[in-house]
Amino acid sequence: MTDEELDVLEATAQKSIEEMASVLGNTIKPNVRIIVKKSGRVIELNKCEVFTPKDFQMWVRLDSDDGQGLEITANNDTENAGAFVLHHEVGESWGKIFRGVALNRIENGWVMENERIKIEIDL
């Protein structure tokens, strides 16, 4: 991919992240489902607190009521272009879920998906 194409992927992800931060604000507590397609395993993050640096909506972190977290950021690195997503469970370090995916707006939230994993963020 060219540098311009990578920058477009990053800009698209950044626009989606900014929209998400704006829509969620400090009052909406979204639910997140991480679905592992092969095994059917579902990880639920419920009633998430939304954190994004004030006036610096470069990334969004969603922290659930049970201590899990999901962090979404934009990237233009060759392998990571698009949304880059990290997850952690209580007592564990942050681990990469996927990189270089689109963050798509749907009627009731957002969805990100690749061949292995699907993440749904519901309002």
Per-10-residue mean pLDDT of the chain, 123 residues long, equals 85 89 87 95 94 74 92 82 85 83 92 94 94
Q: Which amino acid is at 119?
A: I
- Supply the pLDDT for residue 105: 93
Number of domains in the chain: 1
Alpha-carbon radius of gyration of the chain = 14
Tell me the sheet residues that pair with 45.
Answer: 32
User: Domain residues for 115?
Assistant: 3-122
- Supply the pLDDT for residue 57: 61
**Helical spans, DSSP H, in the chain:** 3-24
